[in-house]
């Protein structure tokens, strides 16, 4: 999986991992992780999104 984060607050990176799960309330949550690639200009990111239908 490769995804580019190009929003203003995120430097361009690739997603190294992605997971989806359903909460006890029935919400679907996506979690993505990206590392800094040992670069001073990138950050390690852990992003979570709740899908709205």
pLDDT value, residue 20: 97
Q: What percent of the chain has pLDDT over 70?
A: 75
Higher pLDDT, 18 or 8: 18
Place of tokens 């203003």: 8
**Using CA atoms, how far apart are residues 20 and 53, in angstroms rounded to an integer?**
15
What residue ranges in 1-53 does DSSP mark as E strands?
Answer: 17-22, 28-34, 45-50
With 70 as the cut, is the pLDDT of residue 9 above it?
A: no
Place of tokens 């430097």: 11
Q: Tens of pLDDT along 30-53?
A: 999 988 888 888 888 899 999 987
pLDDT value, residue 17: 92
Place of tokens 């690639």: 37
**Using CA atoms, how far apart are residues 20 and 41, in angstroms rounded to an integer?**
28
């Amino acid at each position: 999986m490769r995804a580019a984060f190009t929003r203003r607050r995120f430097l361009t990176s690739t997603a190294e991992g992605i997971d989806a799960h359903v909460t006890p309330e029935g919400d679907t949550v996506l979690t993505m992780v990206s590392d800094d690639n040992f670069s001073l200009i990138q950050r390690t990111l852990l992003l979570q999104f709740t899908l709205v239908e």
